[in-house]
Each structure stands twice: as structure tokens, then as C-alpha cells.
Amino acid sequence: MYRQIWRKAHRSIAEVSFYTRNKIRIVSLTGFKFKNYLVTDGYVKGISHYDHVEIRFVGRDGITTTASKTLNRNEFERHLVVGLNDQLPNIVLISLPFDVFNQVPDLDLCEECHTEIGEPIAVIGYQLNQDNLTIKQGLVSSYYPSEGVKYLQVDATIRHGNAGSPVISLEKGKVIGLIGHKLTEVSQSYKRLKDIMNNNLQLLKGYQGRYNMDDIDPIQVLIANQNQIKYITKELYRITSMGVGYALPSSHIYSFFKENLIFESMDGSKNILAGF
């Protein structure tokens, strides 16, 4: 069953990598193609200090590039669809009006799926800034209500980079959800720790240079210490493996398209941005 899901879905799932001007990769995440758009997680909106973005699809072996496109920051931001309101902050679309992606197939998106707890699923995506596409098995373990949305809780190995990965029902063979980045407890804990350390650094910098002990400024030592802890915390968060993930249900993805795009019956006869 998983082999069939992989054969059907792998060509439609992209790696989205953000690079500095010196071609140092900042972060990568996942997205899937639907109606000439790449559907991915809203985490994209929070990425900064990048120069260009590469969108890349792979073949059946999960590593050989079959189609790719590099966009500078201005080009990339022009192709972002973030929505007409903030009701769904956890989803972003990237328009793909490029000939190189014409042969990339769409994934099947479930408009109104009745998803049951215990339903077996596959999560396909990229992780840890690695360039190989992976498939993971799991199941829908529960629902998680947050801010008026009933998210899918899935038991599967979720790692940094899986944000934007499609959750595919083995029984339906369709996408029933989109893995989110900010919903996990690990992400929330990391954000709280980062805020605390940034506040500590801000306070310490206010006292920098006021004290001196044997030609050593103890405040500078504390600042260096906080920066080291901040770096270690970031690296630990980056490699953390989570056994539970949360996914935006596919019905909300469908609603996002209907609200922000002009098209006729989702058949591709019309597919342009409202006011774009």
C-alpha cells in the first residue's frame, strides 16, 4: 500500500529551500503541487535574511531532480499567496507559472473527507535540510482543536523540514491534511526559550561596559554564554524527532483556494489570483 502511495505521489512533492547570497542554506521545507500552485505551511512567511529560493521536484528514487526553479527573493514574494484574511495563518500558496513544472502532476486533494480516528496515513516530505524525499507511516490518532480549527493529530515521525508535507490517506489515496510547523509543542517550547534568551541578551547589553574585573567585563562573558546556549538550543530543536504531528485538514485548503482564487469547479479551466 505504501509503495503504491509513493509511486502515485512522489513526483508532486517539492523541496523548498531558502539560501543566502553566498549559497548557504538557511532552511528547507516541503510543499505539494495542486492546480499550478505549491501548497505549503505558513512558516514560509516567517523566514527572513534569504537571497533566493529553490523549488525542486524529484523522481522515483527520491533524490534525482526532475524539475527545479530558482527565484530571487523579489520574484518569490511576488508568487506568494497568503490569503485575503488571517483566518488560516498556517497555509501559503506559491504560484508555479513556469514551463519547467508543466509535467509535474497534481496531488489529489480531498474536498470533504470524513477522516476517522485510526485511519492509516502516509506523510511524504523532506527533513533536516536533507535533499532526499522520504515517506513515513502513521495513523490519525485524534483531533486537536485550536483557534476554531479542528486539526488532525497524526502519530508519525515528524522532523524539522516536514512542515508543508501532505498527509495522505492510505484508504482514500488522497491528501487529507498539511503538516504544520508552529502547532507542535516542541516548536512552541523553542519559541518561548528563544524569547527568554533574546530578552536576557537585551537586558545584559544595557549593562555592558559598566563593570570590570581584572580587565574582563563579566557582562560580555554572560552575553557570550547566552549566545552559545541559543545556538545549542537551535541545533537541538533542528534535529529533534517528534512522534506526533498536527495537520490542517484538506477541507480548509480547499476553502483557501475558493476564497483566494478565481476558477471554475476546480477543473483548471480558470486558475488566476483574485486581484493579482
> For 22-78, what is the HEC assignment?
CCCEEEEEEEEEECCEEEECHHHHHCCCCCEEEEEEECCCCCCEEEEEEEEHHHHHH
User: In the prediction, which pLDDT does 216 show?
Assistant: 78
First to last CA, the chain: 41
User: In the prediction, which pLDDT does 102 show?
Assistant: 95
Q: What is the pTM for the complete model shown? A: 0.76
Residue of higher predicted confidence among 217 and 168 = 168
User: Strand (E) positions, 73-190?
Assistant: 80-81, 92-95, 120-125, 134-146, 149-159, 166-169, 175-179
Question: In the predicted model, what is the mean pLDDT of residues 126-131?
Answer: 88
Question: In the predicted model, what is the mean pLDDT of residues 257-272?
Answer: 51
pLDDT digits (tens, 9 = 90+) for 224-261: 888 887 777 665 555 555 556 889 999 999 888 888 76
Residue 22: is its pLDDT beyond 90? yes
pLDDT digits (tens, 9 = 90+) for 71-117: 999 999 999 987 655 566 688 999 999 999 999 999 999 988 889 99
Confidence band (pLDDT; 50, 70, 90) for 271? very low
Q: Give the CA dihedral 8, 10, 13, 15, nearest 10 degrees.
A: 180
**What is the pLDDT of the chain when averaged over all its residues?**
84
Residue 24: is its pLDDT beyond 90? yes
User: In the prediction, which pLDDT does 264 show?
Assistant: 37
Residue 189: is its pLDDT beyond 70? no
User: In the prediction, which pLDDT does 236 show?
Assistant: 55
Statement: 2-185+239-273 belongs to CATH 2.40.10.120? yes
**200 and 229 in contact (C-beta within 8 Å)?**
no
As a whole number of Å, the CA-based R_g of the chain is: 21
Confidence band (pLDDT; 50, 70, 90) for 160? confident
Beta bridge partners of 135: 124
| Cα 147 from Cα 141, distance rounded (Å) | 20
Sort strands 175-179 and 241-249 into parallel, antiparallel or unpaired: antiparallel
User: In the prediction, which pLDDT does 7 show?
Assistant: 96
Residue 267: is its pLDDT beyond 60? no
pLDDT digits (tens, 9 = 90+) for 31-71: 999 989 999 998 898 898 999 999 999 999 999 999 999 99
Q: What percent of the chain has pLDDT over 70?
A: 82
Write down the H helix ranges in the chain: 2-9, 73-78, 185-207, 218-239, 250-260
Residue type present at position 205: K
User: In the prediction, which pLDDT does 274 show?
Assistant: 39
Confidence band (pLDDT; 50, 70, 90) for 191? low
Cell of 93: 500558496
